[in-house]
């Protein structure tokens, strides 16, 4: 069978990334230019600055990616691009670049949902076994997605307020860790002990989550201790926060695995890099005898490789966009296809 090459583009937040993916699971070349250092001084991503920086580097990122792969656009079968969810102006840079490329190269334009991308980052770890459940935990989302077959998505639960990544970043900020604080919190959590009592919200029968309560509890705790001129033990606070959050995620996921009788669990999204979550989920899957896929650490946070892996499936399915494609910042992942 002829090899299929997808040229993939990701610009939904603060990474400008291009990738060439062969047959949906071979990462031929990926180039990512991150803006994290630019946004750090603002304590979070500034949308207008993100768009401007995507525009400034996107052509270079494309050229470097082709050079790395030693291929040209003539070797590509499709152009896949993230068109949502994400920041409108940031998405627009990728979508417009993809349209121009598709027009110039006469290759089909394949629209990809960023969250489908996070799920499909697992194609670089192993084969999918259906039906499966994906726990998607990122800076913008916290969702449980049921997949009966390839590239079909049904949301069975999600957060009612903050995402896990958002809660991590905000809690990190109040204890003086710069954006994005999740990875550093994870490091601190590995050396502290669980000594602060934090609330478990939405401890109910639904598959929905809520993280604003635990976030506010930590913020209040830090403010109260500071007012009393008492030191916060950052490591212990990080451990208490991480263990509570992981417990909330793992309990609902375990119940969903049983109820939906899935064969496999996938972890996805930036927070899937979290050491505590990876360890706890592994234990649950081992105990239940369910297969588990987790993305390699380099595929956890935003990258175009995952968009190429999802884009390959979308291409096979026949998903196509024309030149009227616009970004969809609030795009949901709850239907067949994109």
**Interface with ligand KG4 (CB under 6 A):** 13, 138-140, 165, 168-169, 180-183, 186, 269-271, 273-274, 301-302
Q: Give me the long-range contacts of 176-179 (CB less than 8 A, separation at least 24).
A: 176/234, 178/40, 178/43, 179/36, 179/39, 179/40, 179/42, 179/43, 179/44, 179/45
Q: Smallest gap, in angstroms, from Cβ of residue 20 to ligand KG4?
A: 21
Q: How far apart are CA 134 and CA 22, in angstroms?
A: 23
**139/158 with CB nearer ligand KG4:** 139
Q: Where are the alpha helices (DSSP H) in 156-260?
A: 164-174, 182-189, 212-227, 234-260
Q: How far apart are CA 118 and CA 286, in angstroms?
A: 23
Q: Smallest gap, in angstroms, from Cβ of residue 271 to Zn ion?
A: 10
Q: How far apart are CA 295 and CA 76, in angstroms?
A: 25
Q: Which does 305 bind (CB under 5 to 8 A by kind): Zn ion, ligand KG4, none?
A: none
Q: Which does 256 bind (CB under 5 to 8 A by kind): Zn ion, ligand KG4, none?
A: none
Q: Is 28 exposed, middle or buried (0-12, 13-18, 19+ CB in 10 A)?
A: buried
Helix, strand and coil percent figures for the chain, each rounded to 5: 45, 20, 35
**23/275 with CB nearer ligand KG4:** 275
Q: Smallest gap, in angstroms, from Cβ of residue 238 to ligand KG4?
A: 10
**208/302 with CB nearer Zn ion:** 302
Q: In the structure encoding, which two tokens stand for residue 317, read together?
A: 């399915």
Q: Which does 182 bind (CB under 5 to 8 A by kind): ligand KG4, Zn ion, none?
A: ligand KG4
Residue 330 three-state SS: coil
Residues 249 and 209 sit within 8 Å (Cβ to Cβ): yes
Q: Smallest gap, in angstroms, from Cβ of residue 304 to ligand KG4?
A: 12
Report cis status (omega within 30 of 0) of the bond before 180. yes
**158/183 with CB nearer ligand KG4:** 183
Q: Smallest gap, in angstroms, from Cβ of residue 187 to ligand KG4?
A: 8
Q: Smallest gap, in angstroms, from Cβ of residue 184 to ligand KG4?
A: 9
**101/121 with CB nearer ligand KG4:** 121
Q: Which does 221 bind (CB under 5 to 8 A by kind): Zn ion, ligand KG4, none?
A: none
| CB-based closest residue to ligand KG4 | 270
Q: Which does 192 bind (CB under 5 to 8 A by kind): Zn ion, ligand KG4, none?
A: none
**272/313 with CB nearer Zn ion:** 272
Residue labelled with tokens 């230019």: 33
Residues 277 and 190 sit within 8 Å (Cβ to Cβ): no
Residues at the contact surface with Zn ion, assessed by CB under 5 A: 138, 302
**198/333 with CB nearer Zn ion:** 333
Q: Which does 180 bind (CB under 5 to 8 A by kind): Zn ion, ligand KG4, none?
A: ligand KG4
């Amino acid at each position: 069978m002829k090899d299929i090459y997808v040229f993939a583009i990701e610009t939904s937040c603060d990474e400008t990334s291009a990738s060439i993916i062969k047959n949906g699971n071979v990462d031929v070349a990926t180039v990512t230019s991150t803006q994290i250092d630019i946004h750090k001084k603002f304590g979070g991503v500034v949308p207008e600055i993100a768009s401007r920086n995507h525009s400034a580097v996107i052509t270079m990122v494309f050229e470097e990616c082709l050079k790395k792969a030693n291929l040209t656009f003539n070797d590509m079968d499709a152009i896949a691009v993230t068109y949502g969810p994400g920041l409108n102006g940031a998405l627009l840079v990728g979508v417009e670049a993809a349209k121009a490329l598709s027009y110039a190269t006469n290759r089909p334009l394949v629209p990809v949902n960023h969250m489908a991308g996070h799920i499909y980052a697992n194609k670089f770890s192993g084969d999918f076994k259906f039906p499966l459940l994906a726990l998607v935990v990122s800076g913008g989302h916290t969702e449980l997605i049921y997949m009966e077959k390839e590239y079909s998505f049904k949301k069975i639960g999600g957060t009612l307020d903050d995402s896990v990544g958002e809660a991590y970043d905000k809690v990190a900020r109040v204890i003086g860790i710069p954006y994005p604080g999740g990875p550093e919190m994870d490091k601190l959590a590995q050396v502290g002990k669980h000594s602060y009592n934090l609330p478990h919200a939405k401890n109910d029968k639904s598959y929905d989550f809520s993280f604003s309560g635990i976030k506010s509890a930590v913020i209040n705790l830090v403010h109260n201790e500071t007012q009393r001129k008492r030191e916060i033990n950052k490591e212990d606070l990080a451990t208490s926060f991480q263990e509570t959050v992981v417990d909330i995620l793992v309990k609902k996921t375990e119940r969903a695995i049983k109820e939906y009788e899935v064969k496999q669990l996938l972890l996805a999204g930036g927070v899937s890099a979290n050491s505590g979550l990876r360890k706890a989920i592994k234990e649950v899957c081992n105990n239940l005898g369910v297969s588990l896929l987790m993305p390699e650490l380099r595929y956890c946070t935003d990258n175009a490789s995952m968009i190429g892996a999802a884009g390959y499936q979308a291409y096979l399915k026949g998903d196509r966009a024309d030149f009227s494609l616009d970004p969809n910042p609030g795009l949901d992942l709850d239907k067949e296809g994109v």
